Chains A and B, each alone.
Chain A
Amino acid sequence: MSIRYLLRRLATLLLVLLGVSIVAFSVQPLLPGSAARVRLGVQATDEAVAALEARMGLDRPLVVQYLDWAGGMVLRGDFGDSMVTGTPIRDEIVRRVPATVGLAFAALLVGLAIALPLGILSALKPGGKRDLGASIFSQIGVSIPDFWMGILFILLFAETLGWLPSSGYAPLSAGLGAWASHLVLPALTAGLISGSIMTRFVRSAMLEVLGMDYVRTAHAKGVAARRVLTKHVLRNAAISVVTIIGLQMATLLSSIVVIEIIFAWPGLGQLALNATLQRDYPVLQASVLMAAVAFTVVNLLTDLSYVLLDPSVEVA
């Protein structure tokens, strides 16, 4: 991988982040309804609303507001204060990132634990019974709305069986047991869905590799089937799987927004949704931006690891 390629990718990344920040910022002037009024509530007078708007600097030109906002973030790591609680947004984000990242990783693990065996099994004998079974499983997994699955899980595992807490989050500092027991249901919900999608990717990645010339050659040379599988096929399919994981983050992050709401999981998705509902646009801007930045960076890392793992990929 050449330095030039890296630099080019980084430049693109910065460009995209600039675009993302502009889109995120533009939410504020576009939103109907006044944030000041939401802050002051149903019983606020017009004068009080206008006064608060002036104090929040909402009467300045948009460009000035954008530069002030973006400058504060880049130079001082300052995202501003929440309009609803008045507390610094940075603290809020720092507090919530572990929850979202933890959930995303757990869900990804669940997803891989489902997708890898199912995808490999079904690709070994395409059209066979196992393939059909895996296919039915993954199709059903994809077609159930995520919020619906979450609610059914709460009813079953928390309420009826009483095995797991119904919702909420326990930080690692509260003990491994508490942390894990709260994590299981949301991770299972998000993981089942992303696992269903990934099963299909793994299957086709495997099929592709199985169809490659050197695998056929290996077979022809009489290498034992198991060895072909472990030595050649899986290793090569791994490259595709890394890509899939990167791509899967988009779907995963999206369904995590929904799942965080259902399970009262204090992550960035919940923060963003609450901010939308409360018209707390500094928070909305910051959380949407953070999600987008996270995704863009993951995407870059995937691309780079793809290049690293597979020297045959042309870096144009």
Chain B
Amino acid sequence: MTILRPFLLALATLVTFTVATAQTPGGTLTAAWSDTPGLDPHATTAYNSFQVLQQTLDTLVELDANLEPVPALAESWSLSDDGLVWTFELRDDVTFSNGRAFTADDVVYTYERMLDPDVSGNTWRLSEVASVEADGAHTVRFTLNAPNAGFLAKLGSGAPFGIIARESVEAGTIDAQGPIGTGPFVITDFQPGTSITLERNDAYWRTDADGTPLPYLDGLQLDIIPDPSVKRSALVSGDVDWSLTVPLQSVEELEARDDVVVDATPAPSYHYIGLNTEVEPLDDVRVRRAIAEAIDREQIAEAATFGTGTATQDPIPSTSQWAIDYAPYGGDLDAARALLEEAGVADGFAIDLMATTAYPEDIRAAQVIQAQLAPLGIDVTIDTREFGDWLEQQAQGTYDTLILSWLVLLDPDDFFYAQHKSDGAFNVTGYENETLDDLLLRGRAETAFPDRYAIYEQVNREIVRDAPFIYLYNPANIQAYVPAVEGYAARADQTIRFVETWLND
């Protein structure tokens, strides 16, 4: 796997620089960025927006390299015996970038706003929270509806959970300037579709091991360059120091260059085909299994990601501690034909496969799937749509099959609950399974790792066998930068952090 090598290299650098190298503070990092739909972390649900907000907001906890929660704005925490009440003790030395001290009220304000359906498109993210209360200035208490083992890690999974100050909302500047946060950088100029300028937050609360204030950088200049090949050109020609993505087909070429560092980690994400279980003949589990059996995921991953992704039959990547690696399908065309015959569609049938232009790699995968299903007599028509249109069709269930990805899933609950529970917020396939519903609820409540793992083993098996989703591959999280960029590493949770990054030139 070409991905592992840079990953290990990156880990090695990470270890090295914290030990030895002297960091040079100062300088502005110029980055090739993607378009950012909006800066209100509660109104937007766009991943691209959170990647920017990550630079300006902090969360109560953060995830370390093993995706374990570690302290951030919260110094410590405890869970009540019934598993329902989480109590966080907050740092008392943190100020917002406008100079005001950070307190428990801000946490309450942030999460109440996030849970307000009139403002927020993100209420579903905290559906298990019954209430958030401050107890004094530096203690905050979350009460849950039901125990949830993934709750703590969730609060640390990036900018959607970042703490904001009420001032920017009340002044009405949150859309144009972003929220006021406690994070390492402050947005000073936002030009939608063009650029975002950030300056270092001089009041930032973190220092490095030597006591040098963080961040090292004076600022970030994020240039919006939508086209991946142009991003690549900008990086190679030295117009930018760092690029959010590179075209997947260029990874090999870029790795061979010595003026570019390709930094890749396996991403906690998966690409899948969703099958509408309410249309014929996909309502028959044998037909869905036949498709799952017939496709060649290695080919799909190769064609879609040029070897940067890893073919898989179940959603959790093998690098996760929750990896299950259940692979019942063998790519046997005869077995697939037998299943179709049993289901009474031996002569095949025609279906649409809905893909969105927002993700070209899915369109590439769709073409391979189309070719692979043709020998079974399954006539696949690829239906590409604008993302907005795609979402609408998905929401209304007016599709046969669709292809997309789920990104940044950390807890096993993230991989299954919303997508497959009968009343899951994003169950768009119409799949219903009582056994599974029950397992999913137990999975949330269970806290002991081995017992919890056993539950998700069963969940995983149910889904892979019933195939409302057919999993294709786990992608890699790939960034590239010039060698002068130091102290940066692509992270397993896909957050982008420049806190300890500096420019060595």
Q: Are A and B in direct contact (Cβ within 8 Å)?
A: yes
Contact surface of A with B, Cβ cutoff 8 Å = 32-35, 37-49, 51-52, 55, 81-82, 84-87, 92, 95, 151, 154-155, 158-159, 162, 165-169, 261-264, 266, 270-271, 274, 276-279
In the assembled complex, 15 residue pairs joining A and B whose CB atoms fall closer than 8 Å, in A order, are: A35-B388, A38-B387, A38-B388, A51-B117, A86-B38, A95-B191, A159-B237, A167-B239, A261-B226, A263-B230, A264-B227, A264-B230, A266-B193, A266-B224, A270-B193
Taking the closest CB of chain B, its distance from the CB of A285, in whole angstroms, is 15
Residue of B nearest to A266 (CB): B194
Assembly CA distance A85 to B193 (angstroms): 10
Chain B residues 183 to 200 lying within 8 A of chain A, measured CB to CB, are: 191-194
Q: Is the C-beta of B252 less than 8 angstroms from some C-beta in chain A?
A: no
User: At the interface with chain A, which of B5-13, B41-49, B54-62, B210-218?
Assistant: B41-49
Contact surface of B with A, Cβ cutoff 8 Å = 35, 37-40, 43-46, 117-118, 120-125, 174-176, 191-194, 223-227, 229-230, 233-234, 236-239, 357-358, 386-392, 395, 404, 418, 425-426
Q: Is there an interface contact between B233 and A278, defined as CB atoms closer than 8 Å? A: no
Residue of B nearest to A182 (CB): B239
Q: Is there an interface contact between B392 and A33, defined as CB atoms closer than 8 Å? A: yes
Taking the closest CB of chain A, its distance from the CB of B216, in whole angstroms, is 25
Q: Is there an interface contact between A151 and B229, defined as CB atoms closer than 8 Å? A: yes
Find A33's partner among B225, B391, B425 (CB 8 Å cutoff). Answer: B391
Q: Is there an interface contact between A34 and B237, defined as CB atoms closer than 8 Å? A: no
Assembly CA distance A172 to B404 (angstroms): 42
* 9 nearest A-B pairs in the assembled complex, by CB-CB distance: A41-B45, A86-B175, A40-B121, A279-B388, A266-B194, A33-B388, A38-B388, A33-B389, A166-B233
Q: Is there an interface contact between B233 and A159, defined as CB atoms closer than 8 Å? A: yes
Residue of A nearest to B357 (CB): A277
Q: Is there an interface contact between A40 and B233, defined as CB atoms closer than 8 Å? A: no
Taking the closest CB of chain A, its distance from the CB of B314, in whole angstroms, is 21
Given contacts A167-B225, A264-B227, A277-B386, contact A155 B193 (CB under 8 A): no
Which residues of A are found within 8 Å of B227, using beta-carbon distances?
261-262, 264
- Known contacts A32-B392, A51-B117; 20 further A-B pairs (Cβ under 8 A): A33-B390, A34-B388, A37-B391, A38-B387, A40-B121, A43-B426, A45-B124, A85-B38, A85-B176, A85-B192, A86-B38, A154-B230, A158-B239, A165-B239, A166-B233, A166-B234, A167-B225, A262-B227, A264-B230, A277-B357
Taking the closest CB of chain B, its distance from the CB of A274, in whole angstroms, is 6
Taking the closest CB of chain A, its distance from the CB of B505, in whole angstroms, is 17
Q: Is there an interface contact between B392 and A86, defined as CB atoms closer than 8 Å? A: no
Taking the closest CB of chain B, its distance from the CB of A153, in whole angstroms, is 11
Q: Is there an interface contact between B223 and A32, defined as CB atoms closer than 8 Å? A: no
Assembly CA distance A136 to B120 (angstroms): 59
Q: Is there an interface contact between A158 and B388, defined as CB atoms closer than 8 Å? A: no
Q: Is there an interface contact between B230 and A167, defined as CB atoms closer than 8 Å? A: yes
Residue of A nearest to B45 (CB): A41
Taking the closest CB of chain B, its distance from the CB of A308, in whole angstroms, is 39
Find A278's partner among B37, B120, B121, B175 (CB 8 Å cutoff). Answer: B37
Q: Is there an interface contact between B425 and A43, defined as CB atoms closer than 8 Å? A: yes
Taking the closest CB of chain B, its distance from the CB of A123, in whole angstroms, is 39
Assembly CA distance A48 to B426 (angstroms): 13
